[in-house]
Structure 1
Amino acid sequence: MFTQPPRNQSPSRRLTRRESGATAVEFAMVLPVLVLMLLGIIEIANILRIQFTLESAVTTVAHDISQNPNITNQSEAQSLFTSNLADYAPLVQQNTETSDPSDPPALAMSPTTRPTCNSSACTPFLITITYTYSALSAPMQPFFDGLTLSASARKSPEPNTSSTLVAK
C-alpha cells in the first residue's frame, strides 16, 4: 500500500526521501569498474617496470660479454646471465616463492658464437632477453597473462689487447 507523505513536508524533502538509496545503488554499480581500472593500472605499471629492467639488463649483459673473451657462445652467455640474474634483472621473475615459479628471463645471442676480434673492425653481436609475463591479480589474467616482453642490445666485442701500450 502506498501511503501519502504528510502534507506539511516540503516537496524537496519528499524528493530526498524517494532517492535515499540511489547513491548506494550507483556506488555498487561503479565500484567494480573502478576496481578493475585500479588493477589494470597496477599491472601496466608492473609491466613497464619489468620492461625497463630488461632493457637495463640487456645492455649490461652485452657489455659484460663484450669485455669477457672467455664467453664464446650462447650457452656460456646464458650461464653468465642465469648465475647473475639477481644482479642483472632484480625482481623480474615474479612467482619465485610459490610451488609453480614463472619461467626466468631467457637470453639469446646472435650469432650463437661470439665473433673473434683482433683488429679495430669487429663484427657486432646481438643479445636479446625475453620474458613471459604473468598477471599479478586473477581478474587481470585474461588481459595480461602470456604477454612477452623483450629487449635487445647490439654490441661489438672488444679487440684483443694483449699487447702492452707504448707511451709516446
Structure 2
Amino acid sequence: MKRISILFVCMGNICRSPLAQGIFGHLVAEAGLTRDYAIDSAGTGGWHEGEPPDRRSIATATSHGIDISGQRARRIRSSDFRDFDLILAMDRDNLAALEESALPGANIRLFGDIALGTGEDIPDPYYGVPEGFELVYTRLLTGCCRLLETLGAERTSCSGNTSSVR
C-alpha cells in the first residue's frame, strides 16, 4: 500500500486540526497502520506558530485517551500543497483560504464533505463554551472513522462508538 499523507487544517492550528490529527493518528495506530499514513495539521494563519494546542483541546483529547500535548502549531507552507495527498479544511473559510494559495493539482477538500458526507463545517470552539470542544471531538471522531474506512482500512476501534476511542 502506498503511504497516504493527510493534512488537517483549521484557522490557527490550536483547536480543531490538532484534535483531528490526534484522533486520526490514534485510529491509524489502533488499526496497526502507522506505516501506511503520514498525518499532520496546520493553520491558515500563523498567530500561534510554535504553541501547543489550546488547553481545552488537549483536555478533551486526554479525556478520550489521546495525547496531543506534543503537537506545535504551524502555518501552512507552499510545500504542503505538493507534499500531502489530501488536505482537509475544517470549514469553508479555511477551504477558501487554502484554494486561494494552493499550487495546481493540490487535493483540497472540506472535512465535512469527504469525511462526514454532510458538507457541514466543523465549528470553531475557541470562543465558545467548554462543551463545544466535546462536540467538535465527536464530529471529528465520526469523520475520522469514516475517512479511515473510505481509505480502505479495517476499523476495529470505530465500532459505532463516537464518544471515545478506547
Fold in common (TM above 0.5): no
Bigger helix fraction: 1
TM-score of the aligned structures, taking structure 1 as reference length: 0.22
The structure having more radius of gyration, on CA atoms, is 1
TM-score of the aligned structures, taking structure 2 as reference length: 0.22
Q: Which has the higher contact order (CA 8 A, sep 6+)?
A: 2
